[in-house]
Structure 1
Amino acid sequence: MMSEAPAPDPYATAKANLRDTIKWLATSLAAVGAAVIAGASINGLAALKGEALYWAVGLGAVGLLGILVAIGVMLSLLTSNVFYFSDLTTAGNAVAAAIDQHAQDILSPQTPTIAALVQYRQDAIRDMQAAAPGDPLYAAAFKKWTAADDLIARVTNLGQFLFLRQKFEERQPLLFFLTIVIIGALGGYALLAGSKSSLEADFAPKAVFRPGNNWADAAASLSNACGGNPLSGVMLPKKSFEGWVTVRLAEPGKCSGLELTVPASLVQLVGS
């Protein structure tokens, strides 16, 4: 005789939710790191010199290392070892103690503790070995063994969930510490890399454009610099607007490729 197929794991949803939470935390940490690194100016980092550059590189490296360590910790939780019922029988097992505290809700009155359940199954196995198949004693022992086996399956499923949750709770202080380190390190990196570019923008030289007498001086300067009068080019309709035309100067010429937006009255279309 064989026992019936085991019932579905009643804690499967709880275990899946816990694993999804761990995955979400790992994804969030990676996203934070990517956002900070991408948001900081690479030009600003390249402009740093001396001690500021060393601090920025060091903080960025510490932040990225913290993210990798945190992700590694969470991956170790997701790839935990197979959980067996025998793991609950070791002395001082915290998961077994938690199940024993709620024995009335989980275990049967005949087996009020994990140890009693183990002994109940061992007694059933001993009685089956002492009797022959087909004997009333064998049938009664097999019934006891089946009941114990079904209960063990449910307890093992619960134990696996409690074991995963226990490991996650044990890692929480480390993950919290790593999160603080990551935020501080990447925040310092972004501050150093971003401040340089901001300061350069704030102190960039200001310019005032003076076209000269009725723009004649500007036109003469442009003509002298580009070496031609008139200047040949191609009109860019998509960049032109009412009253103004955008022209890209053609080759050959010193200013070939230069785009200018000028009043439409200054431009004459060839062939028109």
Structure 2
Amino acid sequence: MNEFFQKWELDPLKLPRHVGIIMDGNGRWATARRLPRVAGHKKGVERVNEITEFAVHCGLQALTLYAFSDENWRRPEEEVSALMSLLRWYLKAERNKILENNIRFRLIGDRGKLSSDILEMATKLEDDSSANTGLNLCIALSYGSRGEILRAVRRVLDKINAGELYPADVDEQSFEDHLDTAGLPGVDMVVRTSGEQRISNFLLWQSAYAEYFFENTPWPDFSESIFASLLKQYSNRERRFGRTPEQVRQSSVSSESKRKNSPTHLKSVKATHR
């Protein structure tokens, strides 16, 4: 186990593969400090960078951040404009860091509502990072899970009508292949900041078996230590997937035995006792 995992007391074999975060509380954070709401969003962008870097060190396969919902277009025009400006800044400022850190960038949501320049920058970053093999960073923008599911249904129907797919061949996996998150593992862990306890139309299909964590801290104050604490809580939860507690424990014992006898673990033990 390397220094990073020792520092944060995390077991890399018990971490989630895919984490989704509903980044809530930017506006309230700013209001509580008598600042304009956009100040909270700016602070929130800083937190995105920190948590993304932490996820990279954790070795997560995917991190999906709920940046802007389909319903958020109803907010005051001034706030929406400020958010889009922040997004432009993020795509420009973080581009090199994303590429250098082997991150694969993905944008999920209703692209038809985005301005042409934002869509062009996001698509370019997707293309340029498509061969990267590290963290899949998904930014949910103009996103709503119901809309995503409807888009997937239409894609499936289009293929059926074109004779490329038979109705009898449509199963859960083939349907998932038409979602915005196609190719990514299911969501294991969902975090919502700022104390609200609702899903808000976020990754409904993908998070069917996810563990939920409702954190009181607003997103601008969400730190590495808080994230590490939630990850530790996740590793201690018993995920059954329809099995009995006894079956889960037997599976855990078998997995632990395989882990201890793996070449990677044995090499780590030898290094520790030198």
Q: Structures share a fold, TM > 0.5?
A: no
- Looking at secondary structure, tell me which structure has more helix per residue: 1
- With the length of structure 2 as denominator, give the TM-score of the two structures: 0.21
